[in-house]
Amino acid sequence: MYTKKTFLHILLFISAILTLAPFVWMLSASFMYDGHASVYPPRFIPDQFTLIQYKNLLARLNLARNFFNSLFLALSVSLISLLFNSMAAFAFAKYRFKWKDKIFNTLLASMIIPAQITMLPLFLMLRYMGLVNTYFAIIIPGMANIFGIFLIRQYAQSIPDSLIEAARIDGASEFQIFKEIFLPLIVPILVTLALFTFLGTWNDFLWPLIVLNNDSMYTLPVALANLMGEHTKDPELMMAGSVITILPVVFVFLFLQRYYISGIMLGSIKE
C-alpha cells in the first residue's frame, strides 16, 4: 500500500514540476540582463538580478498602453455581455413565449459554427462603419454570446417560479423582478461567466490581430506577437513581456478559481 502511495506521489510531483517549469524559466529569464538567458547550460536562476527588461518594456516600448487596452477591453466586454446574456437567459428560463424552444435550440446548435467563419464579413462590416482599429471592433462582436446565455439559463432553471410569481402578486414590474430577484440569485454564475469572458477576451489573439492595427491600439497578446518579430534574439525582454501578459490572468484565476472550475462542470452538463 505504501509503495503504491509513494509511487503515485512521485508521479504527481514530477508532473507538477514539468507543468510549472516553463513558468519558472519564464519568470527567471525575465529578471536577467540581455544575453544572460542565451547560454549553455541554461540558467534557471538569474546570475545578476535586474528589472531592466520591465523598465524597457514599460518606458521604451510603451507596453503600459497595451496593458491598459487589454484591461479596458476585457472589463468592458465582460460587463456588457454579462448584462445582455443574463437578460436573455432570464427570458429563456422564466418566460413562456412563442418559438421559445425553437429559438433556444437554434442558438445551441449554432455553437458548433467556428467563429473564424464570421471574421471576414464582420471585419468588412466594421470597416464600413469606420470602427476598425477602435475599441468598438472588439466590444461589438463580444456584446452577447450563446455560451453565456446557455450557462446562465442552465443555472437559473433551479430558481423556483413561485418566487417570481410572488413578486408579481406584490406588484413588482418585470424589470424589478429581473433586477431585484433574478440577478441576486444568479450571482455565482455571473462571477463564473465574468471570469470566463474576462480571461477569454484578455487571451484572445486572432480577432484583435485582425481588427487592431497600430501599436497604441494593440492588446497585450498582439503587441507581444509583434514585438517577437523584432526581438527574436532577446529572450529576456520577451519573457518579461510574457510575465506582464500572464500575471494578471493568473492572479484573477487564483482568486476566483472555484467559480471557474464550477463553471466548467456546469458547462459540461448536457440537457
Partner 1 sequence: MVRLFTRDSAAFVFLAPALSAIFVFFFIPVFASFLIGFTDLDIYALGDLSKVRFVGIENYARLLKDPLFWQALFNTFYFVIVAAPLSIAVSLGAALALNSKLAMFKPIFRLTFFMPVVTTLVAIAIVWRFIYHPNFGVINYFLGLIGLHPIDWLGDPNWAMPAIILMAVWKNFGYNMIIFIAGLQSIPEYLYEAAVIEGANGWQQFKSVTLPMLAPTTLFVSIITMIGFFQLFAEPYIMTQGGPLNKTLSIVLYMYNEGFRWWNMGYSAAIAFVLFFIIFTGTIVQLKLQNKG
Question: Is the Cβ of residue 52 or residue 80 nearer to partner 1 in the bound state?
Answer: 80
The CB-of-263 to partner 1 minimum distance in angstroms stands at 10
- Helix H segments across the chain? 2-30, 52-55, 63-94, 100-109, 116-128, 136-139, 146-156, 161-169, 174-176, 183-185, 187-203, 206-211, 220-230, 235-267
Question: Is the Cβ of residue 42 or residue 59 nearer to partner 1 in the bound state?
Answer: 42
The CB-of-119 to partner 1 minimum distance in angstroms stands at 8
The CB-of-141 to partner 1 minimum distance in angstroms stands at 5
Measured CA to CA in angstroms, residue 8 lies from 4, 18, 179 at distances of: 6, 15, 50
Classified as helix, coil or strand, 17 is helix
**Which residues make Cβ contacts (< 8 Å) with residue 265, sequence separation at least 6?**
none
Please tell me the distance from the alpha carbon of residue 14 to that of residue 24, in angstroms, as a whole number. Answer: 15
Question: Is the Cβ of residue 8 or residue 51 nearer to partner 1 in the bound state?
Answer: 8
Question: Is the Cβ of residue 62 or residue 174 nearer to partner 1 in the bound state?
Answer: 174
The CB-of-71 to partner 1 minimum distance in angstroms stands at 13
The CB-of-142 to partner 1 minimum distance in angstroms stands at 9
Question: Is the Cβ of residue 48 or residue 111 nearer to partner 1 in the bound state?
Answer: 111
